[in-house]
Amino acid sequence: MEYNLEKRTKLFGIEVIRFVNSISKNNINAIIINQLVRSATSIGANYCEANGASSKRDFKNKIYICKKEARETKYWLELLSQTNTRYREKIRLLNRRFI
Kindly indicate the confidence band of residue 16, based on its pLDDT and cuts at 50, 70 and 90: very high
Spell out the domain ranges in the chain.
Answer: 5-97
| CA-to-CA dists, residue 25 to 22, 34, 61, angstroms | 9, 11, 35
- Could you please state the CATH topology (level 3) that the domain comprising 5-97 is classified under: de novo design (two linked rop proteins) (1.20.1440)
Closest by CA to 97, choosing from 32, 6, 9, 38, is 9
pTM metric for this prediction: 0.90
Sequence-distant (≥ 6) Cβ neighbours of residue 19 within 8 angstroms: 87, 90, 91, 94
Tens digit of each residue's pLDDT (9 = 90 or more) over 18-49: 999 999 889 999 999 999 999 999 999 999 99
Q: How much is the pLDDT for 3? A: 74
Kindly indicate the confidence band of residue 97, based on its pLDDT and cuts at 50, 70 and 90: confident
- Position 70 pLDDT exceeds 80: yes
Helix residue spans in the chain (DSSP H)? 5-21, 27-51, 56-83, 88-97
